[in-house]
Amino acid sequence: MKQAEQVEAFEQVLLSYTEMCYSVALALTRNPDRAQDLTRNVLMWAWHLRGSADGEKDIKKKLLIALRKTFLKDYCQAPCGFENEAMCGENRISFAQDA
């Protein structure tokens, strides 16, 4: 497959997951605007992976992990973040080993 065809195929894969990503982001943020921003950021991140050898491998899993990580990173840094501080902080949440 030529590079242009690979890029187009990867674009179609990402587009097929856009609605799923938005639904998850909306469930996490409970805010349509923030969910759109989160979805856009994660899809842009995934777009940059298209050149990697395993760019399409387990893409759904990678998107869901990226959504969760990005949400937690951004939300825990926001002044209106979690009321329960046990949900935030480097000592409480570890991204080192995502299965």
CATH topology of domain 3-87: Rna Polymerase Sigma Factor; Chain: A (1.10.1740)
4-53 confidence digits (pLDDT tens)? 887 888 889 889 999 999 999 999 999 999 999 999 999 999 888 776 65
- Answer for the pair 45, 63: CB distance below 8 angstroms, yes or no: no
Say what the pLDDT of residue 56 is: 59
Say what the pLDDT of residue 50 is: 75
**Rounded CA gap, 37 and 58, in Å?**
23
**Rounded CA gap, 5 and 50, in Å?**
12
Residue ranges per domain, the chain? 3-87
55-97 confidence digits (pLDDT tens)? 556 888 889 999 999 999 887 776 654 444 444 544 344 444 4
Q: Contacts for 44-51 with beta carbons within 8 Å, 24 or more apart?
A: 45/70, 46/14, 47/10, 47/11, 47/14, 50/6, 50/7, 50/10
**Rounded CA gap, 29 and 70, in Å?**
11
Collapsed DSSP state (helix, strand, coil) of residue 79 = coil
